[in-house]
Structure formats: C-alpha cells, structure tokens
Chain A
Amino acid sequence: MVLLYLLEKEFKQFFRDPGLPKMAIAFPVLMMLVFPFAVSMEIRNINLVVVDSNRSVASSKLIETCTASGYFNLVAVSDDPDWAMQQMDKNRADAILTIESDFDRCLERGEALPVGIKVNTINGTKGSIGAGYLTSCIQRYRAEASPASTASPTAGPQLDVSAKYYFNTYLDYKKFMVPALIVIAITMLTGFFPALNIVSEKERGTIEQINVTPVNRGVFILCKLIPYWLVAFFVLTACLLIARWVFDYSCAGSVGLMYFFTAGNILVTAGMGLLISNYSENAQQAMFVTWFFMMVFMLVSGIFTPIASMPDWAQAITYLNPMRYYADAMRGVYIKGSTLADVWSDAAGLLTIGTVMVAWVILSYKKTT
C-alpha cells in the first residue's frame, strides 16, 4: 500500500534529521521543568521602602509583620518621604509604607492608624496586589496588637465570610500552568514541524518527483500528518509523567480524554502548518507566518489571561482560535476532572476547525499547476 511506503519514508526522515528528534525530547522537558517555576503570576519580592516617622516599638513591629509575610523585600527604612519617592522614581521601590509620627498613640487609643501606602502601578497587577498585601499585613498587625479593637462594643453582629477553594485547593499557580504548558508544547512542536516539512521538499526539489508520480494527494498529506500525531502523544506522555514525578500532580479526569483532545488539536496545528507550507516558497516564509499565527493564538487562548475579562470583540475572536478550545478542555480535564459531557463544546469547536484545515490542505495541494 502506498500509504505505508510513504509513512516509512516520513519516519525515517524524521529520525534521521539531526535536530527534530532532539527537539521533540528537549522541548517538553524544558517546558515542564523550567516554565512552571518561571511563568508564574504570583507576585513576590515586592521592593518596599518604609518611611518611619514614628520610630517606636510599635512601628518597628509593623515593619516586621510586613517583611515576615514573605512577599516584601525591605529596601530601606528612612524618615525622609522625598528620598523614598526618589527610590520609586529610580525603580528601586515598588511600594512605600509611610508611618506617621503619631502611630503608636493612635494604636493605643484604638483610633484609625495613620499609615499611608504608595504603590508603583506601572505593572497594574503587581501594584494592586502589592497594595493588597500591605493592607492585609496592617490589618493583621492591628488585630494582633489590639485584639480588643476588633471586638469593640460598638460593632454589630459580624458577617463571617469564609472562602472554600475548589479543584486547586492551595491556589497553586504551577498546577494551573501545567496543562497550559502541555498545550503550548504540543501546539508549537506540531505546528512548526509540519510547516517546515512540505516546504523543505519544495526547496530540495523532491516534491516535483512526487508530483510526477500517480500518488494520491490525500494519501500524501495524510502521511505528512500521521507522524505528528505520534510526536504529540509522545510529548503529552512525557509531560504527564514529568508532572507526576516532579510536582506530584496527576490528571483529575480521564487521561484518555486528554489524548482525544490532543489528537483533535493535531488536525488543527499540523493542518495549519502544512497549509502554510503549501503556500510558502521557502522555509523562512513558512517560519514567520507560522510564528505569527502561533503568537496570536497563544495570546488570546485564555492561557495567560482569562477570556472572560477580554472585551466583547476580543472574546468573539477567540471563538476562531483553536487553542482556546484545546487549552480550556485540557485545563478542565486535568484540574477539574471534566468529562466529555462538560467539554463537548470544546471538542466540537476543535474538530470543526480541524476538519476545515485538513480539507483545505488537501485541496490547496496542487500536483498540477
């Protein structure tokens, strides 16, 4: 059967390539071992400058409470507000905590504490989270320093709100990112490899030798697609194992479902890669076009920023983004244990785009020009 001969060729070429097999191994390892730590949205190491005009036991205790929280780096304690402001201008301080001179007296009297918080909000998220941390440190300090004040006689019946966290109980950002990183690794590898494949046959001239044979173009394209299924399954398996051994995470839902979605995703990414390859004259062109689409897909996939907080028009665009469906499904299955019934809309979206892609690749591959 022609299919088997062509597949044999594709696999031999893949494994003989000096770079591709190494990439297929190095990429998932790197993704799983380095990026869960590096790509973290948790805000730590906020540089704090304290302007302490009070210089009392109480004020130094407050500073200690803040630094003990683990979120702040204490840069300096000064009594010059202007100097502190300069530090922020020079980017040495992310937040300034100002303690007024009547701090200890107000604390004793149970009055509002005279403290000020200034934060650098060039990075809005870091700024607001930093301010939040500082506020909670001050509250905690107040609660510890004068327990009476929280139970003041004037206070009415209190609402005690307690939050219960589901699925990712310890709000571990790494756990949130692991399935997303799997999505990125698989999408990148299975997008770029095929994009280079047909175009390299064009560059070497071997495509002409194929086109002059009676080989069916559908079979030819299928043989280009199948190896990437296996590459993707290999990458997925490697990632899941690393996540298990290194982080002790395991898939909450069905692992089979993750393979199912990965198979669907290959239709899209490998299909897109081959499509770009069809329309490109050389490898450079194919690389740049693929890179452009990957970038767009990734940024509006919901991997880094929640889709729900995008403006309506951007949310509408994400429906065309295959990575949105894949990322959503993979996260759902891995973290929440979603079943196919929960994520059927992702499956429908992914398979629809995938089918269109593959049909387009086959139709745009011309043996006769």
Chain B
Amino acid sequence: MNETENIIIVDKLTKKFGDFTAVDHISFEVHRGEIFGFLGANGAGKTTAMKILCGLSLPTSGGGTVNGYDLCREQEKIKRHIGYMSQKFSLYADLKVWENIRLFGGIYGLSGKRIRQKSDEMLHYLNMTDLRDELVGDLPLGWKQKLAFSIALIHQPAIVFLDEPTGGVDPETRRLFWDLICETAEGGTTIFVTTHYMDEAEYCDRVSIMVDGVIADLDSPAALKQHYQATDMDTVFRKLAYQAKRE
C-alpha cells in the first residue's frame, strides 16, 4: 500500500456563518488507510469541517477533494464512497436491527441477496445475531454505536467519518469499539475520527488539533508528545487548547 497517497486533500477551507468564522483557512491531507484523529475543544470547528468533508455543507471559500472528488461540486459522488456516523445516534429507533441494515444496504444500492449475506456476517461479527428482531431503540447505547458503525461500512466505503463515536459510552465498550475501528483500518479503510477522549487519540496514526477554527498542530501522537515535552496526549491537548480565545 502506498503510504503517501492522499485520500483527503483540503486547501484553505473556510466556513463562515455570518460574522463568525467557524473554520478558518485550514489545509491538511489524510493518507489512505490511516486513522486520522481530528481533535479540538467544543466549538473549535471540527464538526463543521467534518460536515463539509462529508458533503453535508458547502465551504464559504477554499476547497479540496475526498477520494478524488471535489468538495464544492461533487458532493453526491463523495457520498457514494464515504461512510458516516454522527455523535447524535442516527439509525431509525423504530425499525428493527435487520430492517436498519436492510434500509441502508438498499440505499447504497446493494442487491437483496447481498444485503442478506452482509447482515448475517455483520450480526455474527458483532455477536448480535439474537438481537436481529429487536427494535434499535431498545438496544443499549454501546450496541447501537457498534451497529451504527458497521452500517456505516455496509457499502465498503474508502473512508469512514466518525463524529465522536464513543460519546457517552462506558470505558470497556469504548475499548471494544476502538478494537473494531483498528480492525477496520487494517482492512484498508481510512478512518477520520473526532473525539474528546485523549487516550483514544493514542490509537490514531496522526492527529490534528483544532483551536479557534484553525489547525494548531498536526503530527503523530509520538511526535506531538515529544514536541510539547509531554508524557500523554492529554497534556499536549491542554497546552494547545488553552491558547483558545473564543468560547
């Protein structure tokens, strides 16, 4: 695998809401196959930036490509090749487990046979075969998140965006969730993940830290720790995030 091939290229990306500049001329690249951590305090602009990368939002200026497609003109093409899981749990709570899998499989154009095959595999892999006929709304949060993640991967996207996937989940489930993420990355899928948990940042190949709409630093966790003379990512984050001027 060519390590330096860039799946995401962003150049001077900017998003303004009225007078407020949520994302301010950020530029970076994400390599194919890596786990890219996108960190930042609340309100630093990471969700806004992520929405632009997913084609949910148009940049005010600047641009870039995701999997070779233009961010400003080819959002619908981008959407074919990405998976997305948001911090707000977003499967249909009033549909059963298998019905959610079937729906999203169908939306991404999988055949009925392929969907059945996929959902058997997925449920077996997640140890959820017995929960097939449960309404998704009745599942515990940890299970929901694992299911949502797997459904985001149903069409084998080149890259999957995870917006605070482990928010509100207990430590043990978080660890299992990250096992799932690492296994997926080993399979060649690029992971773009935002998180608040600095211990999770250690799992990433590279992390960027956003402060006030700009990228304050971007490197591997090891290099960042060395640069800021810190023993853990938590200290690195505090040193950078405390430069923030806006709330």
Contacts and interface: CB of A to CB of B under 8 A. Distances in A.
Nearest to B93: A204
Interface stretch (B1-9, B51-59, B175-183, B193-201): B51-59
Contact of B57 (A6, A214, A369): A369
Nearest to A206: B90
Nearest to A220: B107
Interface string B77-117: 10110101010111111110001001111111100000000
Given A2-B106, A367-B75, A368-B55, A212 B91 contact: no
A368 B86 contact: no
A369 B56 CA distance: 6
Nearest to A4: B106
Given A205-B86, A205-B88, A212 B95 contact: no
Interface string B37-81: 000000000000000001111100000000000000001110110
A367 B56 contact: yes
B84 A212 contact: yes
A130 B95 CA distance: 59
A16 interface: yes
A212 B82 contact: yes
A270 B94 CA distance: 22
Contacts of B99: 8-9, 12
B43 to A, nearest CB: 19
A209 interface: yes
Contacts of B84: 208-209, 212
B107 A5 contact: yes
B90 A204 contact: yes
A9 B95 contact: yes
Nearest to B99: A12
Specify which of B58, B92, B108, B109 lies most central, judged by the most chain A CB atoms within 10 Å of its CB: B92
A13 interface: yes
Contact of A212 (B58, B77, B79, B94): B79
Contacts of B105: 5
A54 B80 CA distance: 94
A43 interface: no
A206 B106 contact: no
Given A5-B103, A214-B108, A12 B95 contact: yes
Interface residues of A, number: 24
Nearest to B52: A368
Q: Is the interface of A mostly helix, strand, loop or mixed?
A: helix
A178 B231 CA distance: 79
B169 to A, nearest CB: 17
A212 B89 CA distance: 14
Nearest to B90: A209
Interface string A2-20: 1011101100110011000
B95 A213 contact: no
Specify which of A5, A13, A208, A212 lies most central, judged by the most chain B CB atoms within 10 Å of its CB: A212
Interface string A77-115: 000000000000000000000000000000000000000
Contact of A214 (B76, B89, B94, B106): B76
Contacts of A12: 94-95, 99
Given A8-B103, A205-B86, A212-B54, A368 B91 contact: no
Given A204-B93, A205-B89, A209-B86, A368 B107 contact: no
Contact of A213 (B86, B92, B104): B104
A143 interface: no
B214 to A, nearest CB: 22
A215 B103 CA distance: 11
A368 B103 contact: no
B105 to A, nearest CB: 8
Specify which of B77, B99, B106 lies most central, judged by the most chain A CB atoms within 10 Å of its CB: B106
Given A9-B95, A13-B95, A214-B76, A208 B56 contact: yes
A17 B93 CA distance: 11
Specify which of B76, B80, B82, B91 lies most central, judged by the most chain A CB atoms within 10 Å of its CB: B76
A212 B92 contact: no
Contacts of A17: 94
Given A12-B99, A211-B56, A212-B79, A5 B88 contact: no
Contacts of A213: 79, 104, 107-108
A208 B54 CA distance: 10
Contacts of B56: 208, 211-212, 367-369
Contacts of A367: 55-56, 75-76
Nearest to B109: A2
A17 B95 CA distance: 11
A369 B55 CA distance: 9
Contacts of A211: 56
Contacts of B109: 2
23 contacts: A2-B107, A5-B103, A5-B106, A6-B103, A6-B106, A8-B103, A9-B92, A12-B94, A12-B95, A13-B94, A208-B86, A208-B88, A208-B90, A209-B104, A211-B56, A212-B79, A212-B82, A212-B84, A367-B55, A367-B75, A367-B76, A368-B58, A369-B56
Interface of A: 2, 4-6, 8-9, 12-13, 16-17, 204-206, 208-215, 367-369
Q: Which 9 A-B pairs have the closest CB atoms?
A: A5-B106, A205-B88, A209-B90, A212-B84, A214-B79, A214-B80, A205-B90, A213-B107, A368-B75
Given A5-B106, A205-B86, A205-B90, 6 more contacts: A9-B99, A12-B95, A208-B84, A212-B54, A214-B80, A368-B56
